[in-house]
Every structure is written in C-alpha cells, then in structure tokens.
C-alpha cells in the first residue's frame, strides 16, 4: 500500500508526523515523502524533513495525506505543483486526507466542491470561500475524503483512517502502540467556548513568532 505524504515549505510538523505515526508502522505500508523536488523541506518550526521523490514520480498512490500550514494563504499561491498533483492523483486514490489547513489545498485542487470538510478554526472562512461546506467537527469523512481540524486532530484522523484501512482492532492496536490516551491539562483546545483572554494571549504569541 503506497501512502503519499505531501511535503512543502512551511508545513506544520505535527500535521505530517501525527498521521505518519498512526499509519507508517503497518507492515503493508510503503511510505513516500513527496515534494516539488526531492531533498530537505523545512517545516514552519524549522525542522527539516527529507522528500524522497517529486510529486510526479508517484502519480497513483493508494492514500494521500496533506498537512496544513500556519502560512496557508501563501501556500495556496506557492504550491502549484502540489495542487496540480492532487487534482491528478485524487481520482485513483482509495483515500485522500488532510490535516488542518491542508483541506484548503484539497479544495483548491477541486476535490472538496460542495462537500463537508473541516480545517483549523482560523481558516474556516477561507475553506468556505474555496467551495467546501465547512464543518466544526474534529474529523469529517465524506466518501473517499477524510479531513481533520487543526494540528493535533491529525492524530485522530490517522487512527480513523487506520480503522478504515485495516479494521478497528488494528486501529486500537496502533493506539496502544503509541500510547495515545490524551489527558490535556487544560480545556482550551477548541475555539468554541474558549476564554477571550486565551485568544488575546494567542494573538500575542503569534505576533512574536
């Protein structure tokens, strides 16, 4: 089973690493790390991930995973090779998935027109403008497409996809392998109901980054 992980400059590390951890352990999986060109790809926190091939070298993957980025508006303008590859590879893929603002790339490729999809809360308006029906759910399955909300939701998407590929028992075994049993110390992980002071602090943090 060929799983293509799309890489590009400025992508969010956990958007890629979360689903990768949930999927790449399976013995049936051959993971491919694709970008516009083979070589190092720098994430939005400075970590470098090595692309092993260019997008065009794997035209028919079984599964596609597209991470998002905090620089999503720039990415939509810059990543033409990725968008074109998504449009061409989607029809033959069994599953096409995204994490966070990766769904805006799917939408730009014409994959989400009129379909329910989710994304990071900050990009909901953009995703809607690209033709998707925006959901606030953490993971949305619509036919052969699975989209996940912001960043950490990629872990849940990876497990959801594992269950679709290999069954619930295998997905539960993967969950145990990575000891994914989250108990966050705070309850401010979603936009709905968050304290306005937390939003203000987020603004200060992102202004400094």
**Residue 89 sits in which domain range?**
2-184
Amino acid 209: pLDDT: 57
- Provide the domain count of the chain: 1
Amino acid 204: pLDDT: 84
Residue 9 CA: distances (Å) to CA of 12, 34, 36, 68, 108:
9, 12, 10, 11, 18
**Is residue 207 in a domain?**
no
Q: Which of these is catalytic: 100, 112, 139, 157?
A: 100
Task: Please list the rounded mean pLDDT of every run of 10 residues in the chain (209 residues).
Answer: 98 98 97 98 96 98 98 96 98 98 98 98 97 98 98 98 98 97 89 84 78
What torsion, rounded to 10 degrees, do the Cα atoms 166, 4, 175, 119 define? -110
**Is residue 203 in a domain?**
no
100 has catalytic annotation: yes
**Is residue 205 in a domain?**
no
**Is residue 96 in a domain?**
yes
Question: Is 196 buried (19+), middle (13-18) or exposed (0-12) by CB count in 10 A?
Answer: exposed
**Is residue 195 in a domain?**
no
**Is residue 54 in a domain?**
yes
**Is residue 165 in a domain?**
yes
Which of 150, 42, 21 has the alpha carbon at shortest distance from 98? Answer: 150
Residue 12: give its domain's CATH number: 3.40.50.880
**Is residue 16 in a domain?**
yes
């Amino acid at each position: 089973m060929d799983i293509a992980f799309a890489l590009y400059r400025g992508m969010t590390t956990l958007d890629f690493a979360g689903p990768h951890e949930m999927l790449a352990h399976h013995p049936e999986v051959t993971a491919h790390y694709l970008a516009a060109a083979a070589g190092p790809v720098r994430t939005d926190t400075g970590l470098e991930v090595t692309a092993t091939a260019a997008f065009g070298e794997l035209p028919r993957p079984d599964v596609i995973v597209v991470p998002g980025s905090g620089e999503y508006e720039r990415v939509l303008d810059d990543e033409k090779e990725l968008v074109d590859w998504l449009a061409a590879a989607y029809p033959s893929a069994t599953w096409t998935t995204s994490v966070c603002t990766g769904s805006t790339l799917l939408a730009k490729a014409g994959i989400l027109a009129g379909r329910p999809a989710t994304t990071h809360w900050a990009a909901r308006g953009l995703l809607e403008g690209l033709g998707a029906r925006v959901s606030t759910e953490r993971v949305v399955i619509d036919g052969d497409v699975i989209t996940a909300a912001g960043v950490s939701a990629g872990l849940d998407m990876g497990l959801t996809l594992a269950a679709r590929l290999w069954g619930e028992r295998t997905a539960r075994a993967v969950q145990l392998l990575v000891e994914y049993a989250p108990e966050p110390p705070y309850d401010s992980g979603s936009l709905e109901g968050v304290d306005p002071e937390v939003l203000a602090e987020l603004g200060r943090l992102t202004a400094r980054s």
